[in-house]
Amino acid sequence: MSSAPPGSAPDSSPLAAFAYPAFTVLWLATVLSNTGTWMHDVGAGWLMTSLAPSPLWVALVQVATSLPIFLLALPAGALADMVDRRRMLLSVQVVLALVAAGLGIVVASGHATPLVLLLFTFVMGMGAALSAPAWQAIVPSLVPRHVLQQAVASNSVGINISRATGPALAGVMITAFGVAAPFLINAGSYLLIVAALLWWRQPVQAQRRLPTEDLIGAMRSGLRYAWHSRPLKATLIRAVGFFIFASAYWATLPLIARDILTGGVELYGLLLTCVGLGAVGGAFCLSWLRARLGADGVVAAGTLGTALSMSCLALMRLPVVAGLACMLAGLSWIAVLTSLNVSAQVALPDWVRARGLSIFVTVFFGAQTIGSMVWGQTAGVLGIPAALLLAAAGAVLFIPLTWRHKLHQGGPLNLAPSMHWPAPVAADEQRHDRGPVMITIEYRIELHSASEFTAVMDEMSRQRRRDGAYAWGLFEDVEQPGRYLEYFLVSSWLEHLRQHERVTHADQDMQERARVFHVGDEPPRVSHLIAPERQ
């Protein structure tokens, strides 16, 4: 990942990322493609209101979009960390173009049914699941670190520009050419992404010296990292507390337009356009809001704004008020989503970036999927207004419940590889699959520093487990007070070699904090022990 020059400060301009041509070209192509995707979503939601107009069936369109991402994002993230991300994205975009074209032909020929629509939507959701972690993971290779927040916000702006234009265009196209038009236009839009990816030349990656992880092992290491990373875990908890309730208005918006506001597809498109316009406007306020409220305050304010917008949609019957409520919802959405996404980005080193972001995407779409099902069913039983009011109340309630989980926004944390940890020296060449391996580090500590030392070592335990250890411990010698032995276990010699490659500058700082307590002229003694081979 590119980094800022020494001493450079973050650029507060919301347009800072557009100084980099690779980001600009991919951003433009993505905006145009996402416009086609939003046209597809409007067409699918509206088509379902005519094929099966119950709240549950309409909500299932959102479920079919979100569920594949919930199921496949983690394997997709592991793949994106294992293979060439550009080639992976190219392959997926070509397949998505073919599937979208197929759906357009089915709809145009009059053979669409609720199940057929859900099936095509589910397959396209699979494509989105495979590409989402890779898309997010390439952002740090498009811009320097000091404008990463602006790049993430600009991507959100792009999505919401598409949201502002796509639905309105879909309404026009459906009225003029029929409901198949959005699907066929969406198929063509994927080809723009293909062209941009063919043009882009990604930075040369450092050549791997160790064998690539297998898929299951890569998924396991990604989950392990997320579980032991405080900043990432806090981000995921805050994401659940927001998205599971905010999904209510996304799942029911077609029915709000048709049943509550007694409008047609044009009104539905205009409401989505209002959401997009609110999000675009909100992107230009983010730096100002972040400076005054901080990331946690922005998420809380965005959650309150979402609750207020859902309450207005539930209680008001005027299209103008609904449009204003949707603008507030869009502003709130981008404020929360950008803050959470940046928190996840800066909490991850490059070796696990796509996997960590895939976990974020899984939580995001998992919460949306569960929320869409719950609120769709609630709307079918209690009515749409009641479902929206319950969702609004839940969103507000979760603000204090999740407040202690603070978001991470970068700061001094340097997650670039440090390569300061020399490779272990073995008397004989060890097979990569041999293990398990136990590593021990012996410290000599002044007795008056013991409590401070053990507190630092508690932090060290999370670092060891994040990077591959499945067990960790710290023991004091009862015969020699002040002599401490740290140990950790990894599954194989290869996994320990990977630990040496994964260590970051932030990890190096943590290790130095521990070594400060060590007394004597010699450094802490490190030993590597491996389980004997069985005959």
Angle between helices 286-315 and 384-402 (to 10 degrees): 150
Q: DSSP string covering 442-509, please?
A: EEEB-GGGHHHHHHHHHHHHHHHHHTT-SEEEEEE-SSSTTEEEEEEEES-HHHHHHHHHH-BHHHHH
Q: Are the C-beta atoms of residues 85 and 134 closer than 8 Å to each other?
A: yes
What are the start-end ranges of the E strands in 4-123? none
Sign of the Cα torsion 298, 299, 304, 305 reads positive
pLDDT, position 300? 93
Q: Give how far Cα 262 sits from Cα of 310, 318, 371, 382, Å.
A: 18, 10, 25, 19
Q: According to the model, what pLDDT value does residue 113 have?
A: 83
Q: What's residue 219's pLDDT?
A: 87
- Residue ranges and CATH numbers for the domains of the chain are 17-201+216-402 (1.20.1250.20), 437-530 (3.30.70.100)
Runs of H (alpha helix) within 143-264: 148-177, 181-199, 215-228, 230-255
- pLDDT of 348 reads 86
pLDDT at 245: 93
Among left, alpha and beta (phi > 0; psi -120 to 50; other), residue 146 is: alpha
Average pLDDT, 10 consecutive residues per value, the chain (535 residues): 41 73 88 84 79 73 76 85 86 91 88 85 86 82 77 76 76 83 89 89 68 82 88 91 89 83 80 82 79 87 94 88 91 88 84 86 83 85 90 93 80 65 72 87 91 91 89 92 92 87 82 88 88 75
How many C-beta atoms surround the C-beta of residue 105 within 10 A?
Answer: 14
pLDDT at 410: 55
pLDDT at 502: 82
How far, in Å, are 36, 111, 506 from residue 106 at the CA level? 18, 6, 54
DSSP string covering 312-324: HHHH---HHHHHH
Pairing of strands 525-530, 437-444: antiparallel
Side-chain-side CA neighbours of 266 within 13 Å: the count stands at 4
**Sequence letter at residue 486:** E
pLDDT at 169: 83
Distance CA 481, CA 479 (A): 6
Residue range 405-454, pLDDT digits in tens: 888 765 556 676 666 777 777 767 778 888 799 999 999 999 888 899 99
How is residue 470 written in tokens?
């499945």
SS3 2: coil
pLDDT of residue 506: 82
Q: Which residues, at least 6 apart from 379, have a Cβ–Cβ distance to it below 8 Å?
A: 55, 59, 251, 252, 255, 386, 387
Global pTM value: 0.74
